[in-house]
Amino acid sequence: YLKQTTEVKPLFIQVYNDFKMLHPDFVINFDDDIKEGSLVQIYRNHLEQVLVILLDNAFKYSADRKEISLSASTNSALLEVVVQDYGLGIAKNDLKRIFNRFYRVDKARSRKRGGNGLGLSIAKRLIEIYHGSLEVESVVGSGTVFKIELPIVTIEPDDEKTKDTKK
């Protein structure tokens, strides 16, 4: 798995389309600024799983404001993906713990929405295995922003030629 590369743009668009289809009542601000052909060193299913966890949370904790922003951009070194909602938000004290396994902010409230507090701990572990980062900022009552960063794979110019020859 650790050597797998994934072309990020088609996956990003697919995840967006899936969310749109599942939640037609949501306003989605979509901004795809991923350079064509950008590769990240992560197994495709793992990156998809992380994005789905973040989008699923944005949906679950959006309260009445059914709007999210999904954006991604690349530069020569880094892919950055941002998943933002305008919902319940997370208090400072809880923010420290949401990446812990089985941690849920308001068990009574959250129980109705299902889940067992594993999603974010899995997401963070997966991203860190691939040398990326997953960070969060939040304001109670106005919403939450999750940011993923993953290194872009740079292909050396002579890789094509040396691909099949042993070094």
Contact 104, 52 (CB under 8 A): no
Residue 144 binding ligand ATP, by CB under 6 A: yes
Q: To the nearest whole angstrom, how small is the minimum distance from the Cβ of residue 105 to ligand ATP?
A: 3
- With residue 15 as reference, give the H or E element that holds it: helix 8-22
Can you tell me the distance from the alpha carbon of 64 to that of 88, in angstroms, rounded to the nearest whole number? 9
Residue 126 binding ligand ATP, by CB under 6 A: no
Which of 29, 45, 75, 116 touches ligand ATP (CB under 6 A)?
116
β pairing state of 78-85 and 143-151: antiparallel
Tokens of 54: 């973040």
Residue 66: how many other CB atoms lie within 10 Å: 15
Site residues for ligand ATP, 55-74, by CB under 6 A, read: 57-58, 60-61
Site residues for ligand ATP, 39-58, by CB under 6 A, read: 53, 57-58
Give the footprint of ligand ATP on this chain (CB under 6 A): 53, 57-58, 60-61, 85, 87-88, 90, 98, 103-105, 110, 115-121, 144
